[in-house]
Amino acid sequence: MSYPLSIKGVVVHGGRVLLLLNERDEWDLPGGRPDPGEDHRAALVREVREETGLSVEVGALVDEHLFEVLPQRFVRIVAYACTLQAEGAIALSHEHHEASWIEFSALGERIAGRLLPAGYLGAIRQAARQPLSP
């Protein structure tokens, strides 16, 4: 069975990871669906810029998993480690309600009372352990 694809970025900077609060009141990683024929890394650079206004460099693939977004609705998540090209203020898109840089030491399945899906937490932990080269 084929599932919709979402490319996600584990944006790491200064021992912290960027999380976005989505419409389901869950923490999310920046990213989204690639355009037809678009390279995964190019799609991720575009999506992070659209969602946050930030420029990133995409590094290593850190995780792939199926995520049950809603009951019986799955999306294939492909996550890459990313680093900031330059520091700057976050310009949040309409797709998310909040952005937060979370210290690695504060990561868990709940942050500030809101769920961080297990697959995203796993991807973040994997990114924290890997060099950021492709």
Domain encompassing residue 94 = 5-129
* pLDDT higher than threshold 90 for residue 86: no
pTM of structure: 0.92
Q: Is residue 61 part of a domain?
A: yes
Question: How many domains, in total, are found in the chain?
Answer: 1
The pLDDT tens digits of the residues spanning 26-40 come to: 999 999 999 999 999
Spatial distance between the Cα atoms of 92 and 40, rounded to a whole number of angstroms = 22
38 within domain boundaries: yes
Identify the band that residue 134 occupies on the pLDDT scale cut at 50, 70 and 90. Answer: very low
Short-list 116, 87, 105, CA closest to 21: 116
Which CATH number do you get for residue 16? 3.90.79.10
Of 69 and 123, the structure prediction assigns the larger pLDDT to: 123
Residue 134 lies in a domain: no
Residue 54 in any domain: the answer is yes
CA pair distance 99, 131, nearest whole angstrom: 25
